[in-house]
Structure 1
């Protein structure tokens, strides 16, 4: 017989069975730096946007500049404006994801969920979206979660039922039917009692003996939890107290949780029933968090979603307990959720047959559960995989992150009895993260780049300056931990990459390509190329400035305001279509119209010259007099319809000649 059947009847018809960040900082230019006339394009974009000139492209670049520098409050603002402007247009789903992440970082979780859902619906093949909707294939997920370490059947196991191990000082406390005495009719084995086993020098456990008679009775006792000071114990027992054996209206004896206190003689006494026990339902399998502020348990009390759910109560400062709270659908299903355990990191483990698993009860975990519960953050459920889980029942998970010891119970093949306790050592899992810092466009190595490794909260862990090979490497990272890599270099936009290390040891390569963000302005430079200004569009046969052209001219205006010694020559060009004379006159009008716009915005007219060149300076072979213009595509003609903003002088230096 399986122990989960024992706990079933002794329990009820419910068949109980049985882990932001600190904002990224970008170095601001000092006075000497400004004198070199480096232009930070993100600053220009911000100034343009704040002046009310916005396009989808501009907002994308602006929001990204904050996002990749981990300035999430600003990123959320500009992504929000991007979404509002682009409400009825197609947008790369990646922007929904980034917006959702940015909103989450400022604790706007409900709005974040909205955009994460839109992200998932926009690209159902993306694993992040699929994880959000919990639709990932469970078998592949379980295999991915599985790890290669040894589990051992404890020597203290017998040919009957042994389960539910918990450490107490240098002892292991567990339940067993080995004690003889009155038999439980369900499996014709004695009723469960609580036992202790002493830790040996070789880290095994032996010398198993019953706990004192104040705890053990002639009925079932099992699963214990201790407060952090080791002075209070909670344990599971049949509804039997003060020699009274009680049943519900249907004649079923339920389970209850009892509390015992350690007296001065080192014995457990002052046993009392917790206030939320009831003859009509069961409560069982207590566990306490490392702070001693929360007690978790399983029950089929009112409000249960399924056969049994995981509940939580506050442990008040005076030791009293609050009112039970059902952990809800993030944890519970219409099936069985039971045997909760919370480790020192606040991860919640429990067993369930309501989620996809390998068979029977599987052990699941929600990483960083307590923190996420407090902040109302979304939770991700993970099947812990093999070798903890098997096709049989696996439950009563317990681990000590300090000693690296772990225990669970299983009725898998190869055991000694109905249910056996298995032990394991939590495997060391170290990651290596490496990369090579390169220029995104040229792929040249960026010597002297600073690479910083941070934890998920933005605390610096390690820092390296890359050498001639551009390589960096961080070793001994922990598995299943969230980190950030920040890469900085002069004249480049700082990037940050947030990642979570996997469950298995391996090398991770981080993409480390930087995009130039600062350009040294020199005489003869073309601001149109530096600021990525496309064609300055005019309506057909007209030279008045359109709104979309204003957005681009605002970039030029911002540069002129930033560098008051700069003078520029505005050059307007056309393609070959139309007569040469007409094109020259039209481009001349457009160049002067552009100049007048900047003058009207406050730029000294002496700093600006303007000229139209018509079709006289084509950048390709699409000349209508020399070739058939129909051989050129519209895109090729468009290359000739360009505007140039040539720096004729800056900081006393002049362009040698007009080209």
Structure 2
């Protein structure tokens, strides 16, 4: 018994020591994970997993580490294990797993996860977006040849991104080292800190901006004003040579601005007042009037991990209060890299809006009150299953640059040039319902910013507007006197024509007016009749250029003279109801016609049953245009 007891005790002690060692390694891994040191965290967690340890928490942190290191296919394998061992993971893990699956082009499985997200978390914005548009991939792939995309010559083997077009140059962010000494590296991914560079649009050798702008830490996403006299950019929160952390010991990003002097020197470098030690603000851009700044932040009160905000720039150079752009754009995931095109359209990167995986680039219409409409994925021509982000455009709005870490690049992130090959005008013809072409029909199209008008020629043809991007959604209105108008939404596409047929106008049909009926030997307006008369009241109130004719009738029961008088009473009762509801009496003509116009032939062709009698006890209406 003693030897056996000794072996059991020894094994128990060894197991206890093993648990303590494992617990120590987990605590160490958790500590570096909380500092965003994902490279080291992956090494430690995978070492623990290789020794047989498993838990949903371990799978979450391994999946997240790979996810934030932009290695989605590795993240997918750990998220899969999480799904297999958890009955109902948090919403973020359904979504991140779906995003990671897309990187491997497993779109069906990814959509299945999005369906589970929508079912289990019905208030999640990302799940709602999928549920509202489950066929989003069809639209994304539809115009895959819309853009020509090419690699630019000034990419390096390192990270290059955030291009911005100035008057004569392209300003961009890079982790390349153009100095004599090795650069500092960041602890979370062991990559070099980034600086801001400039290169002319011929792509000659890149030049680093002066030390006044570039420090030993990260600088990125520079945006110059139109006159080139001021620059806004992102920088690590630091005091000279030391990083400044928040209360949670995490370093944040802040937005700075500087002035460019006449002699080329940089002056008045200052941090923007809404920056903070406790949250990041980053990636500034301005609207076309340079009165509003758009930026990204994870400040408290946002929708997700990072949101897009706007802040007013006052005439004295001060700033208003930042405003979140809301759930039309921002989701529980990451929205970033806003940009306002020369045409005033908002572009941004998101891994929460429906896309191909990773960050995709989206466009949206935005007005002066910061209201958002028509959020749209730019499509497979620009977007890929990897990260695509930080777009900028030339003044024509049809070509420019963006960044991506897609396969086949030179570095971890590369800059690509794009040109829009799919542009269209709005052309078509207008005919009547007999097939004859209509001359002088008015055609109006509008987007969020502008309205275009024209009329059809003698052949019923029209052409409208300028070159619109394929896939743009536009409101279209067609009208011609004597015909019912058409209001619809069209989607532009190369080579499309937009032909329409106008139906002859009948106001009674347009308003869905019905005759009203009366009881036997009565002229009272019934409740059912009042519902029909209320339609006429509403129309005449809104359309002063119309008047109304009323004709009332009876059946053939009784004397003709009595029936004529009864029909006149019915006509007057009908008119009185309309007048009592605000319609001027001089816009109404009423006449009783007795038995003059029967609704059925049963009186002349045979006996009538009681339901048939009712059809003759009626008032009819005719709307007449007066101007």
User: In which range does the TM-score fall when normalised by the shorter chain?
Assistant: 0.5 to 0.7
2:20 alignment counterpart: none
Say which structure, 1 or 2, has more relative contact order (CA 8 Å, 6+ apart): 1
1:371 equivalent to 2:344? Answer no
1:539 alignment counterpart: 519
Instruction: Mark the CA change 1:171 to 1:621 in structure 2 (over 3 Å): closer, same or farther.
Output: farther
1:437–1:449 CA contact under 8 A, matched in 2: no
2:389 alignment counterpart: 395
1:284 alignment counterpart: 282
1:451 equivalent to 2:445? Answer no
Q: CA RMSD in A?
A: 4.6
Instruction: Mark the CA change 1:364 to 1:622 in structure 2 (over 3 Å): closer, same or farther.
Output: farther
Separation (CA, whole Å) in 2 of partners of 1:159 and 1:237: 22
Instruction: Mark the CA change 1:514 to 1:458 in structure 2 (over 3 Å): closer, same or farther.
Output: farther
2:91 alignment counterpart: none
Map residues 113-512 of structure 1 onto 2, 5 A cutoff.
134-135=132-133, 137-144=135-142, 146=144, 148-179=146-177, 181-186=182-187, 187-200=189-202, 205-367=203-365, 369-371=366-368, 373=370, 377=371, 379-402=373-396, 404-427=398-421, 429-439=423-433, 443=434, 445=436, 448-453=439-444, 455=446, 461-467=452-458, 470-472=460-462, 474=464, 478-479=468-469, 480=472, 482-489=474-481, 492-493=482-483, 495-502=485-492, 506-512=496-502
Deviations 1:81-130 (A, max 9, x none): xxxxxxxxxxxxxxxxxxxxxxxxxxxxxxxxxxxxxxxxxxxxxxxxx9
1:612 equivalent to 2:609? Answer no
User: Is the partner of 1:592 in helix, strand or coil?
Assistant: helix
Deviations 1:248-271 (A, max 9, x none): 344433222221110121232322
Q: CA deviation at 1:207?
A: 2.1
Map residues 45-124 of structure 1 onto 2, 5 A cutoff.
none
1:522 alignment counterpart: none
Instruction: Mark the CA change 1:614 to 1:584 in structure 2 (over 3 Å): closer, same or farther.
Output: farther
Separation (CA, whole Å) in 2 of partners of 1:407 and 1:554: 56
Separation (CA, whole Å) in 2 of partners of 1:646 and 1:243: 85
Gaps of 5+ in 1: 19-129, 518-527, 574-582, 648-659
Deviations 1:356-410 (A, max 9, x none): 321111222222x24351xxx4634322221221111111122234363221111
Deviations 1:317-337 (A, max 9, x none): 122333333333333222222
Q: CA deviation at 1:513?
A: 2.5
TM-score for both structures, normalised by structure 2: 0.64
2:129–2:353 CA contact under 8 A, matched in 1: no
Q: CA deviation at 1:474?
A: 4.6
Deviations 1:222-276 (A, max 9, x none): 1111223221111112223433432334443322222111012123232222222
Separation (CA, whole Å) in 2 of partners of 1:499 and 1:207: 47
Gaps of 5+ in 2: 1-32, 39-63, 71-127, 577-584, 623-627
Q: CA deviation at 1:170?
A: 1.0
Q: CA deviation at 1:538?
A: 2.6
Instruction: Mark the CA change 1:641 to 1:408 in structure 2 (over 3 Å): closer, same or farther.
Output: same
1:16–1:338 CA contact under 8 A, matched in 2: no
TM-score for both structures, normalised by structure 1: 0.62
Q: CA deviation at 1:594?
A: 1.3
User: Is the partner of 2:454 in helix, strand or coil?
Assistant: strand
Deviations 1:133-155 (A, max 9, x none): 94554323433565522111111
1:587–1:613 CA contact under 8 A, matched in 2: no
Q: CA deviation at 1:197?
A: 0.7
Deviations 1:536-584 (A, max 9, x none): 52314x24343466877999xx9xxx999x99997644xxxxxxxxx44
Separation (CA, whole Å) in 1 of partners of 2:206 and 2:237: 26
1:257–1:274 CA contact under 8 A, matched in 2: yes
1:595 equivalent to 2:564? Answer no
